[in-house]
Amino acid sequence: MKFFVDTADIAAIRDLAATGMVDGVTTNPSLILKSGRDIIEVTREICELIPGPVSAEVAATDFEGMVAEGRALAAIAPNIAIKVPLTWAGLKACKVFSDEGRMVNVTLCFSETQALLAAKAGAAFISPFVGRLDDIGLDGMDLIAGIRQIYDNYDFQTEILVASVRSVNHVRDAAKIGADVATVPPEVLRKLADHPLTDKGLAQFVADWEKTGQSIPKAKA
């Protein structure tokens, strides 16, 4: 499974990229607002940090506006994935961009049939929102499993990018189902490494090592 980090925070992206765990980045208007940065400026900086796909979302809701904005965003860097909403206008724009050889991330997916349409429109990524489905009493992972089955049935190459990830369990369950990508907030990505038994075991090793009175020589850089 690929990990995309869901943020426009440059410091967080740089820190996580150093681990080798970041395969891409996703942004949206809410994350751009939170960053307090100009969308072109911050997106260009992210693209320079991360060689993998960087999703930049259009703000327009009409077809012509999406195409114009999408082309402007794509001009920022070759690794831009133009992000469009799963509406008829968004699907039409997706077809235009995919025909031009551009990566498209179709977002705000909440049903298997929506995901089917996005794949037929040539989307590189489909972004089903699992957390928001959980919020209204549904099981977001049921949607991931359904999309996986449909895409496998017809050999669609669109990658399932699990979005609205709220917990480690979301990542684990999506990986077990076979989702291609999980886009996660920085704090959730860091939590994937956490386990109380790891902390307990490390504390014991540290305590026992101190009792030996030894030190390991540091190699020169």
Q: Which residues are catalytic?
A: 83
Helix axes 63-74, 88-99, angle to 10 degrees: 40
* Residue length of the chain: 221
Angle at 20 between CA 171 and CA 47, to 5 degrees: 95
In angstroms, the first-to-last Cα distance of the chain is 33
Cα(46)–Cα(25) distance, rounded to whole angstroms? 8
- Where does residue 204 rank: exposed (0-12), middle (13-18), buried (19+ CB within 10 A)? exposed
Helix axes 10-17, 39-49, angle to 10 degrees: 10
